[in-house]
Amino acid sequence: MWYFTWILGVLLACAFGVINALWLENTENMDRSSDDPE
C-alpha cells in the first residue's frame, strides 16, 4: 500500500502548489488595487 501513500503525497504537493499560485495572484491583485488612487 506504499503507492497509495505516494499518490496522496503527490496530490497534496500539487494542491499546495496550486493554492500558493492562486494566493499569489490574489495578493498581487489586492496590492495593485490598493495602490490605485481611484
pLDDT at position 37 is 58
- As given in the structure block, the three cell numbers for residue 6 are 505516494
pLDDT at position 2 is 87
Distance of CA 2 to the CA centre of its chain: 26
User: 36 phi and psi, to 5 degrees?
Assistant: -70, 135
Residue 3 host element (H or E): helix 2-35
pLDDT at position 33 is 75
- As given in the structure block, the three cell numbers for residue 27 are 495578493
Length of the chain: 38
pLDDT at position 14 is 98
In which residue ranges of the chain is pLDDT below 70? 34-38
Separation between Cα atoms, residue 9 and residue 11, nearest integer Å: 5
- The full set of domain ranges for the chain reads 1-30
What pTM value is reported for the model? Answer: 0.68
